[in-house]
Amino acid sequence: MDHPLAIRPTQSASDISREDWVEMRLIHTFMRYAQPALHSALVLIVCMAAILYQHVDSLTLGIWASAATAVTFVRYRIIRIYQRSLVGVSGPPLRAFMARYTWTWPMSAVVWGASMFVHFLKAPVYDQFLGMIVLVGMAGFAVGTFSSWLPCFKGYVNGLGFSSMTVLVSQLLLEGGIPSTFNTYGMVVLVMIYWIVILISGQRFHEVQRANLELQFDNSELIRSLTEKSRAALEAVEIKNRFIASAAHDLRQPVHALDLYAGWLAAEPEFVTQIAPKIVRSTKAVNDLFNSLFDLAGLESNPLRVHLQDVDLSGLVQDLEAQYAPFARERGLRLRVRPAAGRIRSDPVLLQRLVGNLLSNALRNTHRGGVLLAVRNRRGVPRIEIWDTGVGIAKEHQQAIFQEFYRIPLQGTEEGFGLGLAIVARLSEALGHPVGLASRSGRGSVFWVELREPG
């Protein structure tokens, strides 16, 4: 059964904040070194019990050894919970886990410091010396092992210091006044000095570790940022190359046709009535392409200036109907509108341009039937919808159609240059009005513009 704090995701530096990532790495380092320290603690318990067994009270030694072993296995259990459930986790779950179990480190230190009750002034001097060396070594070892996580480090060192000082002060009280020698007073002073030195050393070692991790995080973020910028630059070059290649391809055909018609007219001027309309159509195609290119280039190079004001939705729909009804009649299509009363906060010029591009796209790709322009309310948000009975758009093309020069490879979609929807995408982003679509190949399409209030 998993621990109640168990959360398993692995997070990289790019997924979490700098402070959370540094904290996670410090705790991971702390846990990694804590387990070998427990192995050493078990060995020391056995060694001290074997050394002191014949020189001190057996019951006192047994109680201490049992307490030290119990708290060691409790810490083993905590490390196991961390390894099973919290490696790679950051933020509140990790902080809650550490706050819940930090007390076990000072408790362990208190038990080890209490070993002085067993041997101090009770065992032979050599055995007392070995016991003191063990405590001094454990305090020094904590600087490199536990200083990654300051609450546990300080709790551990303070636990050792308080318990050791308790033993020494108790001995002073038992001796009653100033003893015949100053050995005990000297030990009190040495313990206090060593205690302070260990705390300062651990604090500085922690600061070095934290600074190194912060630098590592910053370097990682810098590398990631440079990688993203390099990728964006490569993508921009690729888009530019595709843009130029597509523009050249689309421009070549009408220009080539103009050249042929001009040569034909020069050779046979009597056919001017048949050739002139063809020249006009080719010229119009070139002009339309350049207009689209200039529109797109203007959107790319200059940030759009959005002038927000109240827009009358009914008036917007009527203006679009007046503008595109002749184009619909020319193509033999029926353009129907369903205006609705209401006002929305937007830029009237850019919004009309956005919807106009969608309406023009629907009319160009519809060959029979008609197009419906309607204003409807969906879940409290007004939106403009453009329905058509055209060729439809298969699912695999529905994202790509908003790219420059992308045209669906189907019969009936040859008109235009594939720039109208690219312009729509940029206008949508500038205005904060999301554009969506639903379509099935051969069954027509519906595009909509959600008229959310700009944030």
The per-residue pLDDT for range 356-376, each reduced to its tens digit, is 888 888 888 888 888 999 988
- Do 211 and 133 have their domain in common? yes
Q: Which tokens in the block code for residue 351?
A: 């919004």
Tell which of 209, 227, 245 closes a domain.
227
CB contact at 8 A, 295 and 419: yes
The reply to whether 10 falls in a domain is no
Whose tokens are 């009804």? That residue is 325
435-439 vs 370-378, strand pairing mode: unpaired
Nearest one of 105, 101, 98 to 27, comparing CA atoms: 98
- Do 382 and 405 have their domain in common? yes
Separation CA 118–CA 57 (nearest Å): 8
Q: Give strand pairing partners of 385.
A: 374, 448
- Do 279 and 376 have their domain in common? no
What value does the mean pLDDT take over residues 275-284? 73
Q: Which tokens in the block code for residue 388?
A: 């058509």
The reply to whether 318 falls in a domain is yes
Domain containing 51 equals 18-227
Helix (H, G, I), strand (E, B) or coil at 180: coil
Q: What is the pLDDT of residue 85?
A: 85
CB contact at 8 A, 379 and 349: no
- Do 339 and 410 have their domain in common? yes
- Do 257 and 361 have their domain in common? no
Q: Which tokens in the block code for residue 95?
A: 């902080």
Q: What is the pLDDT of residue 394?
A: 67
- Do 144 and 200 have their domain in common? yes
pLDDT band at residue 390 under the 50/70/90 scheme:
confident
Separation CA 116–CA 134 (nearest Å): 11
Q: What is the pLDDT of residue 349?
A: 80
Q: Which tokens in the block code for residue 150?
A: 């300051």
> Rounded to 5 degrees, what angle do the CA atoms 317, 291, 398 make?
65
Q: What is the pLDDT of residue 122?
A: 84
Tell which of 161, 193, 227 closes a domain.
227
Domains: count for the chain: 3
Query: In terms of pTM, does the model score above 0.75?
Result: no
The reply to whether 276 falls in a domain is yes
Cα within 13 Å of Cα(234), Cβ side: 6
The reply to whether 284 falls in a domain is yes
Nearest one of 333, 427, 337 to 384, comparing CA atoms: 337
pLDDT band at residue 151 under the 50/70/90 scheme:
very high
- Helices 92-101 + 18-52 axis angle, to 10: 20
What CATH number is attached to the domain comprising 286?
Answer: 1.10.287
The reply to whether 422 falls in a domain is yes
- Do 324 and 397 have their domain in common? yes
Separation CA 203–CA 158 (nearest Å): 13
Nearest one of 285, 235, 248, 231 to 405, comparing CA atoms: 248
pLDDT at 297 over 70: no
Contacts of 189 (CB under 8 A, 6+ apart): none
Separation CA 15–CA 129 (nearest Å): 52
Q: Which tokens in the block code for residue 433?
A: 């009005």
- Do 216 and 239 have their domain in common? no
pLDDT by residue (tens digit) across 79-138? Answer: 999 988 888 788 888 888 988 999 999 999 999 999 888 888 888 888 888 888 999 988
pLDDT band at residue 242 under the 50/70/90 scheme:
low
Q: Which tokens in the block code for residue 402?
A: 């908003």
- Do 46 and 125 have their domain in common? yes
- Residue 356 gets the label, from left (phi > 0), alpha (psi -120 to 50) or beta, of alpha
**DSSP states of 232-261:** HHHHHHHHHHHHHHHHHHHHHHHHHHHHHH
**What is the amino acid identity at position 214?**
E
**Lowest model confidence (mean pLDDT) among 272-281, 381-390, 417-426:** 417-426
How many residues are recorded in the chain? 455
- Do 39 and 165 have their domain in common? yes
The reply to whether 3 falls in a domain is no
pLDDT by residue (tens digit) across 338-351? Answer: 888 888 888 888 88
- Do 246 and 287 have their domain in common? yes
pLDDT at 187 over 50: yes
Separation CA 386–CA 390 (nearest Å): 12
Tell which of 227, 244, 266 closes a domain.
227
What CATH number is attached to the domain comprising 446?
Answer: 3.30.565.10
Nearest one of 8, 4, 31 to 86, comparing CA atoms: 8
Separation CA 157–CA 108 (nearest Å): 10
> Rounded to 5 degrees, what angle do the CA atoms 47, 51, 55 make?
150
Q: Which helix (H) or strand (E) holds 264?
A: helix 183-267
Q: What is the pLDDT of residue 6?
A: 34
Sheet of 381-388, strand order: 334-338, 370-378, 381-388, 445-450, 435-439
Q: Where are the alpha helices (DSSP H) in 302-443?
A: 313-330, 348-364, 420-431
The reply to whether 4 falls in a domain is no
Q: What is the pLDDT of residue 247?
A: 55
**DSSP states of 193-221:** HHHHHHHHHHHHHHHHHHHHHHHHHHHHH
pLDDT by residue (tens digit) across 141-150? Answer: 889 888 899 9
- Do 294 and 398 have their domain in common? no
The reply to whether 426 falls in a domain is yes
Separation CA 365–CA 305 (nearest Å): 31
pLDDT by residue (tens digit) across 23-78? Answer: 889 989 898 888 888 888 899 999 988 888 888 888 999 999 999 999 999 999 99
